[in-house]
Amino acid sequence: MVKAKQLVFIDFEFSMPERNRVPKGFFPEIIETGVVVVQNGKVTDTFSTYVKPSAFPRLTNRCKRFLSITQNEVDGGISFQTLIDYFNQLNSKGIEKVVTWGNMDMKVLRDNCAQWGIVFPFQAQFVDLSMEYKRFFGDQNQTGLWKAVQEYGREGVGKHHKALDDAMTTHHIYNLVEKDKKYLDKAEPTTIGDRIDLSKLYNQLA
């Protein structure tokens, strides 16, 4: 049986300490997950859940304000092991790429797995779309997710810092970038008129 080649877009939200009051041994825990699964260019599944933190179960006021999240929401979330079980199910079906905006999502996932002695679930190719976007457009600085989609003249999906909405927005930008790549690959050689701003030339000659 041939495994499906899926693209998996992931966004996590993490716990965070109060400013200038970091508890001893603190590490960010995944507290919300958004996943978009794509096969043959079509979204075949979405997954959205809160994840109950274990090491530092009480959310800080800073975290709740920044993410618009409540203690009750995360208390009702799934366990981290259940999240890993879901990822392992996806992996068993075949994943071509795992796409995130920035590298923090996979770093925190790896760290959380290491903290709890759980095997990291993915063996697929990882794509940091923010770096692809930076290289593609020649930006000197790394661009935020929602700024990037606005630069395309579009709007993000739903609310920023809601995991599934950010995963959907990442998928949206991925499609736009891939479309632009194909357009540039097929673009015909430019004429001299395309390369020179003729209006400036005419003004100089006037």
Which residues carry out catalysis? 13, 161
CB 167 within 8 A of CB 146: no
Q: Strand pairing of 95-100 and 42-50? A: unpaired
Contacts of 41 (CB under 8 A, 6+ apart): none
Edge-first strand order for the sheet with 125-128 is 42-50, 30-39, 6-14, 95-100, 125-128
Task: List, in sequence order, every residue forming a beta bridge with 152; answer none if it has no partner.
Answer: none
The Cα–Cα gap between 43 and 40 comes to 8
Helix (H) or strand (E) holding 42: strand 42-50
Spacing of C-alpha 119 from chain mean position: 21
**Three-state SS for 159?**
coil
CB 30 within 8 A of CB 80: yes
